[in-house]
């Protein structure tokens, strides 16, 4: 990078900061945060748990946005001031250091832009995720478990918490089905772009002839909805089955029919939970999953009507991303059209930049 390129970068980033300020209005954010803090001083405030929870959620979201904006703005302003000072003093060492840090400087603004993109109604919610292997037996079941591990590692990197709702082991390897909740700030906002079909191409470790195989798994993501959300589910539309929990969990789990499977007949949505020894708690968790899935379905339907297209079911020919491990190594997302060569890192959970690439592409 030379002097001209760095000067142009500073101009671009300064303009971005100004444009972002016009959108988020930091002065108004500070005013609203002050209002919330004043309201919290009222002794009666905490008597209404629901209202208090909603306001705390708003406070956290606004404060996070304001902190990120302030940090990004200060970083750019400091770079501008330091660059002008270094130029005036012919401080080549500082100038070269600024050139080397240019990438990090851009990252601060990109992170702020991503935060602004995650301002949808449900983006701040927790994410309910289900992974289902496609046709192909052991191959697809192993691929589903690889995706599951990838998301667990990503959640760990982000400091998110995981609650497993249902896990069914594969016959020989991998898994037949898994559902879990990712809890953390903007978990759904990030994970929503993972909703769809994921395709894997590799030399099969289960094929004695070492042939290349293609496997598919579907990932379904819904926002965790509040218990009081207005979704009407008729009892007559439900088929509820109980079955014996599988896998580890102690003698009690394996000897009682505590696991719950609920089928919503009109939509064909199936959810199941075997996380708890209590059948009652498993049913409550399964109903929450069902409400979240139905809520997501309604949002997709409304968006499709808005876009003037018919909503189509996800098919194996409509993958959102391909993970190729042989004959070359590459992960390519079909929405952002960006290819990544760090395949092992991605499968180990380093997927934030890939997700952000999709968010930016969709915004454009």
Element counts in the chain: helices (H) and strands (E):
11, 11
Query: What end-to-end distance do the CA atoms of the chain give, in Å?
Result: 27
Q: What is the pLDDT along the chain (364 residues), one digit of tens a residue?
A: 788 899 999 999 999 899 889 888 999 999 999 999 999 998 888 888 888 888 888 898 888 889 989 999 999 999 999 999 999 999 999 999 999 989 888 888 888 888 888 877 788 889 999 999 987 788 999 999 999 999 999 999 999 999 998 898 888 888 988 999 999 988 999 999 999 999 999 988 877 777 888 999 999 999 988 766 667 788 888 899 887 766 544 333 444 678 888 999 988 888 888 878 888 888 888 888 888 888 888 777 776 665 554 444 444 556 899 999 988 999 999 999 999 999 999 999 999 999 999 988 887 6
- Determine contact, residues 277/249, Cβ cutoff 8 Å: yes
How many whole angstroms separate alpha carbon 215 and alpha carbon 213? 7
Domains of the chain and CATH, by start: 3-117 (1.20.58.410), 127-307+316-363 (3.30.70.1660)
- Determine contact, residues 127/90, Cβ cutoff 8 Å: no
Contacts for 157 with CB less than 8 Å, ≥ 6 apart = 349, 350, 352
Q: What is the pLDDT of residue 303?
A: 63
User: What tokens appear for 345 in the block?
Assistant: 């890192």
Three-state secondary structure call for residue 350: coil
Three-state secondary structure call for residue 241: strand
| Bridge pairing between strands 319-324 and 127-133 | unpaired
Burial of 34 per CB tally in 10 Å (0-12, 13-18, 19+)? exposed
| Bridge pairing between strands 259-264 and 212-223 | unpaired
Reading phi first (left if > 0) and then psi (alpha if -120 to 50, else beta), residue 243 is in: beta
User: What tokens appear for 202 in the block?
Assistant: 């590799």
Q: What is the pLDDT of residue 282?
A: 87
Contacts for 248 with CB less than 8 Å, ≥ 6 apart = none
- List the beta strands (DSSP E) in the chain: 127-133, 161-169, 175-183, 196-203, 212-223, 238-243, 259-264, 269-273, 319-324, 330-333, 339-340
How many whole angstroms separate alpha carbon 356 and alpha carbon 345? 16
Q: Is the peptide bond before 327 cis (omega within 30 degrees of 0)?
A: yes
Q: What is the pLDDT of residue 9?
A: 92
Contacts for 278 with CB less than 8 Å, ≥ 6 apart = 258
The C-alpha angle 203, 140, 257, rounded to 5 degrees, equals 150
Q: What is the pLDDT of residue 2?
A: 85
Q: What is the pLDDT of residue 166?
A: 87
| Bridge pairing between strands 339-340 and 259-264 | unpaired
pTM of the predicted protein model: 0.75
């Amino acid at each position: 990078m030379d002097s001209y390129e760095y000067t142009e970068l500073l101009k671009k980033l300064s303009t971005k900061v100004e444009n972002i300020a016009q959108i988020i209005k930091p002065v108004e954010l500070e005013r609203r945060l002050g209002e919330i803090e004043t309201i919290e001083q009222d002794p009666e405030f905490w008597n209404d748990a629901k209202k208090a929870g909603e306001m705390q959620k708003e406070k956290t979201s606004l404060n996070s946005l304001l902190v990120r904006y302030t940090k990004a703005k200060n970083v750019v302003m400091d770079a501008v001031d330091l660059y002008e000072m270094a130029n005036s003093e012919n401080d080549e060492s500082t100038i070269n250091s600024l050139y080397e840090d240019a990438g990090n400087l851009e990252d601060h603004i990109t992170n702020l832009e991503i935060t602004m993109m995650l301002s949808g109604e449900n983006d701040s919610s927790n994410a309910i995720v289900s992974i289902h292997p496609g046709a192909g037996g052991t191959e697809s079941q192993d691929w589903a478990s690889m995706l599951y591990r990838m998301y667990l590692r990503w959640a760990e990197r982000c400091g998110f918490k995981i609650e497993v709702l249902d896990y069914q082991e594969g016959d020989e390897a991998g898994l037949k089905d898994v559902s879990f909740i990712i809890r953390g700030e903007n978990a759904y906002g990030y994970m929503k772009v993972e909703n769809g079909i994921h395709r894997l191409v590799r030399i099969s470790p289960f094929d004695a002839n070492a042939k290349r195989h293609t496997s598919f798994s579907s990932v379904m993501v819904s926002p965790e909805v509040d218990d009081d959300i207005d979704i009407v589910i008729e009892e007559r539309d439900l088929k509820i089955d109980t079955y014996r929990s599988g896998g580890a969990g102690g003698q009690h789990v394996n000897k009682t029919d505590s696991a719950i499977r609920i089928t919503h007949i009109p939509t064909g949505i199936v959810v199941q939970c075997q996380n708890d020894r209590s059948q009652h708690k498993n049913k409550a968790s399964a109903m929450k999953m069902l409400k979240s899935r139905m809520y997501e379905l309604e949002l997709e339907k409304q968006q499709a009507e808005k876009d003037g297209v018919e909503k189509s079911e996800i098919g194996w020919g409509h993958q959102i991303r391909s993970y190729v491990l042989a004959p070359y190594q590459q992960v390519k997302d079909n929405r952002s059209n960006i290819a990544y060569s760090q395949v092992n890192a991605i499968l180990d959970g380093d997927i934030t930049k890939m997700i952000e690439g999709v968010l930016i592409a969709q915004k454009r």
